[in-house]
Amino acid sequence: MKLDSSACFIFFSADELIRSNDSHFPFRQNSNFHYLTDLDEPGAALVLVNGESHLFVQDRDESREIWDGERYGADRAGGIFGTDEAHSFQEFFTKLPNLLKGATKVYYQLADSSDRDQRILKIIHESIPARGKGTLGNLPVYDPMPLVAELRIVKDIGEIKLIRKACSISARAHAHILKVAQVGMSEFELATELQYFMQKNGLREWGYTPIVAGGANATTLHYVRNNEVLKDGDLVLVDAGGENELYTADITQTFPVGKRFSEHQKKVYEKVLEVNQAITRIAKPGISYRSLHTEAVNMISDALKSLGIPLPEKESYRRYFPHGLGHYLGLDVHDVGIYQEQGKDFLLKPGMIMTNEPGLYFRGIETAYHGIGVRIEDDLLITDSGCENLTRELPRAVDEIESLRA
């Protein structure tokens, strides 16, 4: 990655979000800001310019800290987070014009906050006199996302360690609910069993809202209501993963609410498992996500035909497999990173992590499989010669699942 040394990068922390009246959602740092600073406070900004890093943080304030807890404050933050300078966030907009002096371009993600955008664009506009009374025009503003995504797409050893732990604990939490799920339990109670195991083992937060979908609810891809009762004879699809220092796992399993799969459920499940396992065998550096998706589509189409489902057109499979094979995984569950570059498929490299989540969903379709939804999702770390399934601790074979359900 080549960076123009006269570029100025500006990044902001996430804002706190109100849930109801005076009560907030749990604070979740902006992923780029966490990646670049490790600081998990709101009210902060990072400026990179002239080879220097400037961190702006909220002030110490005893009257607020009584309510919300200790803050770092500018005096301590520079040393702790390793930036060249640390300032009060109160000074951000007054210091920015000086920091921009000499910059020939700005990297800042517009549209995060319209109020902040207005203030930053105004400062950029006012920098024109400093750039030669208009002859050079406004400082151009670029989105930093492609550059940060290029860094984030390949994980370093420390990041892999964090994701490995998130995946291992989440996989074991899924194995745990295979043992404790019961007919008559609510979907949200099953989510709580999973969360209890995860939290007991060190993962504090979900990486995304869990999906616990009994019966035909599994055919709604992002079913998050989780408020129905699990019924004997149904399958339950559970898509949930825990976060470890903001790096998340993303796992889906599908298993019988009762003791055994029905014949139809088992047929669908085994077809999906075949695809999942084939992808794990072939994922490696030098091939693209796109080619893995195509392989999955071909296998899913063959599976549908063998289940007796007519596929009159090339795209007919989409009705039963409407999503992609997977996505990159990291700080965001749908992590940043490109899938195509200048019209060509982007090739996998060691250190990339992708999900492998084929599925089959029979929604609103009158076949013998009506109401069945199956997804099997693992997290694959691309290695030098192939891939490592980071979620392999979760049993997947029908007989293993049935023996745990019994």
Q: Which chain residues interact with Mn ion by CB under 5 A?
A: 239, 250, 252, 355, 377
Which partner from the list Mn ion, ligand GLY, none does 208 bind, CB cut-off 5 to 8 Å by kind?
ligand GLY
- Hey, how many other C-beta atoms are within 10 angstroms of the C-beta on 211? 22
Residue 356, H or E segment: strand 353-356
DSSP labels for 262-312? -HHHHHHHHHHHHHHHHHHHH--TTSBHHHHHHHHHHHHHHHHHHTT----
From 86, 331, 333, 401, residue interacting with ligand GLY (rule: CB under 6 A): 333
Query: Strands (DSSP E) along 121-270, which ranges?
Result: 141-142, 205-206, 211-214, 235-240, 242-244, 247-248, 251-256
CA atoms of 53 and 85, how far apart (whole Å): 6
Whether 323 is a known active-site residue: answer yes
CA atoms of 246 and 44, how far apart (whole Å): 18
Residue placing its CB nearer to Mn ion in the complex, 103 or 354: 354
234 interacts with ligand GLY by CB under 6 A:
no
Residue placing its CB nearer to ligand GLY in the complex, 221 or 347: 221
Token readout for 155 is: 């994980």
CA atoms of 144 and 146, how far apart (whole Å): 6
Which partner from the list ligand GLY, Mn ion, none does 173 bind, CB cut-off 5 to 8 Å by kind?
none
Half-sphere exposure for 75 (CA within 13 Å, toward CB): 4
Whether 239 is a known active-site residue: answer yes
Question: Largest alpha-carbon pair distance within the chain?
Answer: 79
> DSSP 3-state assignment of 104?
coil
Residue placing its CB nearer to ligand GLY in the complex, 295 or 378: 378
CB of 11 to ligand GLY, least distance (A): 26
Whether 222 is a known active-site residue: answer yes
Catalytic residue among 19, 24, 204, 222: 222
206 interacts with ligand GLY by CB under 6 A:
no
Whether 334 is a known active-site residue: answer yes
Residue placing its CB nearer to ligand GLY in the complex, 77 or 211: 211
Whether 87 is a known active-site residue: answer no
Quick one: which of 207, 238, 151 has its CA closest to 334? Answer: 207
Whether 75 is a known active-site residue: answer no
Q: Which residue has the tokens 């004997």?
A: 232
Q: How far apart, in Å, are the Cα atoms of 258 and each of 109, 149, 195? A: 49, 44, 21
CB of 280 to ligand GLY, least distance (A): 16
Token readout for 122 is: 């105004």
CA atoms of 335 and 39, how far apart (whole Å): 20
Whether 335 is a known active-site residue: answer no
335 interacts with ligand GLY by CB under 6 A:
no
By CB under 6 A, what part of segment 240-299 binds ligand GLY? 250
Whether 375 is a known active-site residue: answer yes
Q: Which residues contact 335 (CB under 8 A, 6 or more apart)?
A: 152, 153, 327, 328, 329, 353
Whether 327 is a known active-site residue: answer yes
332 interacts with ligand GLY by CB under 6 A:
no
CB of 89 to ligand GLY, least distance (A): 34
By CB under 6 A, what part of segment 344-383 binds ligand GLY? 357, 377
Catalytic residue among 187, 193, 243, 250: 250
CB of 239 to ligand GLY, least distance (A): 5
Residue placing its CB nearer to ligand GLY in the complex, 215 or 241: 241
Token readout for 47 is: 């400026």
Catalytic residue among 234, 357, 378, 379: 357
Residue placing its CB nearer to Mn ion in the complex, 295 or 332: 332
**Closest residue to ligand GLY: CB criterion:** 239
208 interacts with ligand GLY by CB under 6 A:
yes
> DSSP 3-state assignment of 151?
helix
Residue placing its CB nearer to ligand GLY in the complex, 208 or 261: 208
Question: Can you count the helices (H) and strands (E) in the chain?
Answer: 11, 21
- Give the binding site for ligand GLY (CB under 6 A): 208, 239, 250, 333, 357, 377
Q: Which residues are catalytic?
A: 22, 222, 239, 250, 323, 327, 334, 357, 361, 375, 377
